[in-house]
Structure 1
Amino acid sequence: MDSITETTRASYEHSAHTYADSTWEYYNFPGLQRDAFNFSESLQTTGPVLDLGCGGGRDANFFASHGHRVIAADISQEMLREARSRIASFRDRKVDFACVDIRQLPFREKIFSGVWASGSLLHVPRADLLPSLRKIAKVLMPGGVAALSMKSGAGEGWEQSGAVSGSRWFTYVDPIAFSNLMRLAGFKSASYQPSGRGTWFLATGCI
């Protein structure tokens, strides 16, 4: 694991409970529940959903509540513990958990009907974005959908902010350029829309 990824992972490890508490409710993130619902409704195939960078498990729990089988994946073991404990109280939810690096997905090809990555690719260095997008494209079934939230802007580097104590790497992207990068990675179509949360946007691609 490179130093950028390890430092970012460690920051989430040390702040897992605080972060999960601060992000569990959708009302703190205007428009996000709508985006999650639209993504859920757009899935046309019967495979599971991959919540890539699941954090405290909010979105994995939401997708499971709408009848999807979900793999909640995160690079932080402490985050996975938080997600598992929170979702466990909902006994009807079909969620499995996996510790993964976004850049090295350990899944076979064409297995997921959808991949949801809410703010997780934001922490991937710019040089690794295209290879990571290619891996996401490969694990999607034909007709599968990826919904990836990013922040609009330029540059990348270390930041300290929010409910996480410690440094995290942030990579800002131009929405049009990011959509083009998704097409280059193998998505047949890619588009984006503003989220209603400042500079956040949601890029959606189909295989």
Structure 2
Amino acid sequence: MDSITEITRASYERSAHTYAGATWEYHNFPGLQMDALNFSESLQTTGPILDLGCGGGRDANYFASHGHRVVAADISVQMLREARRRIAPSRESQVDFVCVDIRRLPFQGKTFSGVWASGSLLHVPRADLLPSLRKIAKVLKAGGLAALSMKNGAGEGWEQLGAVSGSRWFTYVDPTDFADLMRQAGFEPVSYQPSSRGTWFLATGYV
């Protein structure tokens, strides 16, 4: 594991309980629940959803509540423990938990009907975005959908903010440039829309 990934992971490890609590309620993130619902209803094939960078399990719990099987994946073991603890008991059998690095997905090809990555790919260095997107495309079934949220901007580097104690790596990208990367990775059609949450945007694409 490289130093950028390790430092970011360690920050989430230290702050897992606080972060999971601060991000659990959708009302703190205007429009996000509707994004998750639209993603869920736009899936065109059957199979589990990969919640990539699941954090405290908010979205995995939501997808399970709509009848989906979910693989909740995160690089932080402590965050996965928080997610497991917070999933509703009635939905536990629908959710599996896996510790992964986004850039090294351990799943077989054509496994998932959808990949949801809410605020996780922005921790991947810019040079690793295209290879990571190609890996995401590979684990999707034909007709599978990816919904990936990023922050609009330019540049990358360390920041300390929010409910996380410690530094995290943030990569900012223009939505048009990110859509081009998705197309290069094999997604088509690709679209993106701005969020009501500051500079966030959501990019979607099928394989």
Structure 2 length-normalised TM: 0.98
**Deviation by residue 1:71-107 (Cα, 9 ceiling, x = unmatched):** 0000000000000011153346500000000000000
Q: Tell me how far apart the structure 1 counterparts of residues 161 and 31 of structure 2 sit (CA, whole Å).
A: 21
- How many percent identity over aligned positions? 81
1:77 matched to 2:77: yes
Partner secondary structure for residue 82 of structure 2: helix
Report how far residue 189 of structure 1 moved.
Answer: 1.5
1:154/1:116 Cα in 2 relative to 1: closer, same or farther (>3 Å)?
Answer: same
Q: Tell me how far apart the structure 2 counterparts of residues 43 and 204 of structure 1 sit (CA, whole Å).
A: 11
Report how far residue 44 of structure 1 moved.
Answer: 1.6
Q: Could you tell me which residue of structure 2 aligns to residue 55 of structure 1? A: 55
**Deviation by residue 1:116-166 (Cα, 9 ceiling, x = unmatched):** 000000100000000000000000001100000000000000000000000
**Deviation by residue 1:34-56 (Cα, 9 ceiling, x = unmatched):** 00000000012111000000000
1:200 matched to 2:200: yes
Q: Structure 2 unaligned runs (5+)?
A: none
Partner secondary structure for residue 90 of structure 1: helix
Q: Could you tell me which residue of structure 1 aligns to residue 86 of structure 2? A: 86
The one-letter code sitting in structure 1 at the alignment partner of 2:160 is: Q
1:3/1:27 Cα in 2 relative to 1: closer, same or farther (>3 Å)?
Answer: same
Q: Tell me how far apart the structure 1 counterparts of residues 194 and 64 of structure 2 sit (CA, whole Å).
A: 25
The one-letter code sitting in structure 2 at the alignment partner of 1:49 is: I
Q: Tell me how far apart the structure 1 counterparts of residues 90 and 104 of structure 2 sit (CA, whole Å).
A: 30
Residues 2-151 of structure 1: pairs in structure 2 closer than 5 A:
2-91=2-91, 94-151=94-151
The one-letter code sitting in structure 1 at the alignment partner of 2:168 is: R
Partner secondary structure for residue 89 of structure 2: coil
Q: Which segments of structure 1 move beyond 4 Å, counting only runs of 4 or more?
A: none
Preserved contact between residue 80 and residue 99 of structure 1 (Cα < 8 Å): yes
Q: State the number of aligned residues.
A: 207
Q: Structure 1 unaligned runs (5+)?
A: none
Partner secondary structure for residue 96 of structure 1: strand
Q: Tell me how far apart the structure 2 counterparts of residues 92 and 18 of structure 1 sit (CA, whole Å).
A: 22
